Amino acid sequence: MASNTTYGDWMRRIPGGIRNIGMPLTIAGFGVAVMALLVLTFSPVAGVIVAVVGVGAIAVLAVRDRRHRNVVDRMVERRAMREQRRTGRGLYRSGFLGCVPGGETALPGVLSRVGLVDAVDGLGRPFCLIRHGHTGEYSLPIACHPQGAGLADDDVEDALVASWARLMEALAVEQGVTQMAVTVDTSPDSGVRFRRVLGGHVVADAPDLAARAMAQVMDLYATGGARNDVTMTITFRYMDARGRFLEPEEAARRISLLLPDVRRRIAEAGGGDAVPLDVDQVARMTRACYDPAAQETLEASDEPPLVAWEDAGPVAAVAEWDWYRHDSGVSRTWEMCDPPRSNVTSGNLARLLEPLPDCDRKRVTVVFHMLSPDRTAFLVEQNRVKASAQVGQEKRATVGSMTQVGKADRQAVETNKGAVMVFFGLLVTVTVAAGGDEANRLEAASRAVESAAGGAKIDLRPCAGAQDTGFAASLPLGVNLQTYAPPSLLGSLLK
């Protein structure tokens, strides 16, 4: 049962400008006006034509759908997808029959330059850092074991939420932290770990009745269940005095100093025992995500097989408009368009996070970008100015504009109390086993996800034309899409 305390006042970044169409279009509007006035001095008819065409183009670009896309955005997406199909960039082959040097099954796309770094903390315990070669960032994956709030009192649950806020505030003031992501991966439990744990408690001279009872327990409960793996990934970006990215050894030293405090704060926020993942665990986890059929093999023995990071990717992958095929799985990824418009309780995401029918595997990743206190103060004041300007431009203020003003004012109050501004997003990936009737099973799983998201008051849209990137970003590998700069889509559109 969720606490009665509610949370809300989320708002998108206010574009600003005339009627909130954004500053670029507002500047373009003034440019059209100046150009029309200049042309009017030579030809009134030409001046009117320039004004009508310019204002019409700005009006078309200013109109956005419920998913905040205008006509150019949609055109760019479709053109990029056609270009991808024409050039074959959506196809990936690796292994001995692929084009990857050395016959490796390397990771594709935005993960092609990601590597793993072995590190040791101050107590000599190993942990793994994920190095992003395309951005110079390092990510620290931490396995969490949340205790849940099902039997917690309201005051305990509120205290856990407050501790989570303090964790984000602590990371916001820490130099070098660029992103934090929490991934909840739900997959079918093969029963291998369950049998292994129970089998370890069976002795050779156990009574026959006890041995048969234990065998029945294994047969009844070993299969058919689900496992939830929760991983928090914190991404860092460090620069030296010369403006160059730090080497792995120095980055590992700095991150190891933060690790004890981060683990303590995670435990205070209800995350349980937070244990950094090692290189082998990260490689096996990534391999199982790209090849779901390999999960049981990876868990079949007491000594799991070694999976090299260079072989953790798929042998083959195909990215289409709204689905992604990778080895033994077919996936679809959604991104959050808008947060809940009304206030919610702490259990708002419970249904979306729990196992859903028709979903073989499901992964929900919440991404947070914490702003520093000085940046927070600047943006809060900017939001207040833009919200007030929007009300002033309206002859009769609407409920929506007045609501924006109220949210901006309340954010300013919370900032004065020490809170920081956090931008957040949500990625949801569902995977079904490849094979017969996979299209219908993927549609059934998609309906289950969209229904659960609707119950959580979250508006999701498929990552159209970017399913491979969305799949990679939802993995607990710390990919920061704000610092990753792919080739310009607009450039390909204008060719």
Q: Report the alpha-carbon distance of residue 132 to residue 471 in Å, rounded.
A: 16
Calpha distance 273→456 (Å, rounded): 28
Q: Are strands 422-433 and 459-462 parallel, antiparallel or unpaired?
A: unpaired
Quote the Cα angle for 480-168-141, to 5°: 50
Q: 274 near 267, Cβ under 8 Å? A: yes
- End-to-end, the C-alpha distance of the chain in Å comes to 56
Q: Phi-psi bin for 20: left (phi > 0), alpha (psi -120 to 50), beta?
A: left
- List, in order, residues 6 or more apart from 133 with CB less than 8 Å away: 113, 114, 115
Name residue, tokens 């998609």. 446
Q: Is the dihedral of CA 251, 254, 255, 256 positive or negative?
A: positive
Task: Say how far apart CA 247 and CA 118 lie, in whole Å.
Answer: 13
The model scores a pTM over 0.75: yes
- Judging by beta carbons within 10 Å of its beta carbon (0-12, 13-18, 19+), is residue 313 exposed, middle or buried? buried
Secondary structure tally for the chain: helices H, strands E: 15, 13
Q: What is the pLDDT along the chain (495 residues), one digit of tens a residue?
A: 556 788 888 888 877 777 777 788 888 888 888 888 888 888 888 888 888 888 888 888 888 877 777 888 888 878 877 887 787 778 889 888 887 777 888 999 899 899 999 988 877 788 999 999 888 999 999 999 887 766 677 888 888 888 999 999 999 999 889 999 999 999 876 666 666 666 666 777 778 777 777 777 766 665 656 788 899 999 999 988 788 888 889 999 999 999 999 999 999 998 888 999 999 999 999 999 999 988 878 876 667 778 899 999 999 999 998 899 999 999 999 999 888 888 888 888 888 998 888 888 999 999 999 998 888 888 888 888 888 887 777 777 777 778 888 888 888 888 888 888 999 999 999 999 988 888 999 999 999 999 999 888 888 999 888 899 999 999 999 999 888 765 443 333 333
Q: Quick count: other Cβ atoms within 10 Å of Cβ 341?
A: 12
CA–CA dist 240, 251 (Å, integer): 10
The structural domains of the chain, with segments of one domain joined by +, span 64-189+226-372+420-493, 190-223
Three-state SS for 213? helix
Residue entry with tokens 């903390």: 121
